[in-house]
Amino acid sequence: MTDRAKKVSELTALANAAGEDLLLIIDDPSGTPESKKITVANFFGNVATNTLIRNTLTVNGAVLLAGNTSISKTLTVSNNVNITGNIGISGSISVANAAVINSTGFWVGNPSGLKGDKGVTGDKGDKGNTGDKGDKGNTGDTGDKGDTGTTGAKGDTGDKGDLGTTGDKGDTGTTGAKGDKGVTGDKGDKGNTGDTGAKGDKGDTGTTGAKGDTGDKGDLGTTGDKGDTGTTGAKGEKGDLGDKGTKGDTPAVPGPYTDDTDAGNNGVSIGGLYYRSTGVVYIRLS
C-alpha cells in the first residue's frame, strides 16, 4: 500500500478506465458528509445533473441525450445523434462545413424551401389590371415519411479520477534535553624559573684616561619546563530522543464549490479534487 504516501501527481498514469475501476465521492455533503467509492460504470451510467463541457467533446460512437444539453465550444460526433430533450448551443451550427445558424440564432444557410415569419403588412397598392386566368396546376404527390434513425451506441467509459491528496506529515517530536557539560580538567603547574647567571668580575680601575673593559654579560638562565596539560573533562550523556509526532489526519476532498473558478479562488490547484453541492467530485481543469 505504498500509494498512500504518494501525491496524486506521483501516481502511475492510467490511459483508459474500466467500468469496475473506482472513483472517490462525497455522499450527502450538505447533511452528513461521508467519503465513499463508486465505480466508473455506475458514475457515468446515472449522472442526475446537467453537464457543462467547456472544451471540445469528441465522441466515436452514437450520442443519446435525454435531457437538456449545453455546449459552449465544439461537439464532434462520428455517428448518429438522437436528442429527446432541449439542446442549447452558445455558438454557431454548421452542416458540411457550411454555417446554417449563426451564434445569435439566425438562419444564414440556403433559404431555399424556408418559410419566414409573416412580415408587416404593407400599404395597399393600386389595383392592377386583371390578368389572364392561368391553368390550374397539378397537385404534387405526398412524400414518403423518412425512416427513424437507429439509436446510437453507448459512449466509452470515462477515465478514472485521480487519487485524493495525501494528508500533511505529522509534527516532529520534541528534541531531547542537552547533556550536562563535562568537568574542566585542572590547570598544570607552572615550571620552575631557571637560575640567574653569575655576574662578571669588575675590571681593575686603570689609570686616568682609558676606561676599563666592561665585563662580559652573564648567560641567560634556562627556561623552566612547561607544565602538563590538564585532562579533558568527560563528555556529557546524550539526551533522550523526543517522542514521535502524531501522524496528521488525511484531509477530506474540499468543497462544496460551484465550479472550477470558485474552487481555484478557494485554493484548489489545477488537477486537484473538489466537490459541488450535488455531492459529485470534480477535477479542476481550468
Highest-pLDDT range among 46-50, 131-135, 278-282: 278-282
Q: Which domain holds residue 73?
A: 49-98
Sign of the C-alpha dihedral computed for residues 112, 113, 117 and 122 taken in this order:
positive
Residue type, 231: T
CA distance 247 to 173: 11
Of residues 101 and 201, which shows the higher confidence score? 101
Highest-pLDDT range among 128-137, 151-160, 211-220, 239-248: 128-137
**pLDDT for residue 202:** 75
**pLDDT for residue 20:** 92
pTM of the model: 0.27
Q: What is the pLDDT of residues 1-11, one digit of tens each?
A: 455 677 878 88
CA atoms within 13 A on the CB side of 39: 8
CA distance 58 to 169: 41
Do the domain assignments include residue 73? Answer: yes
Q: How many domains does one find in the chain?
A: 1
Residues in Cβ contact with 239 at an 8 Å cutoff, skipping those fewer than 6 apart: 175, 176, 177, 178, 179
Do the domain assignments include residue 248? Answer: no
**pLDDT for residue 95:** 81
Query: 224 with 193: CB under 8 angstroms?
Result: yes
Mean pLDDT of the chain: 77
Length of the chain (residues): 286
Do the domain assignments include residue 145? Answer: no
Please give the share of the chain, as a percent, with pLDDT higher than 70: 70
Of residues 104 and 205, which shows the higher confidence score? 104
Is residue 252 scored above 60 in pLDDT?
yes
Is residue 275 scored above 90 in pLDDT?
yes
Alpha-carbon separation of residue 46 from 49, 69, 154 (angstroms): 9, 15, 13
**pLDDT for residue 228:** 80
Do the domain assignments include residue 63? Answer: yes
Q: What is the pLDDT of residues 10-39, one digit of tens each?
A: 888 888 889 899 888 999 999 999 999 999
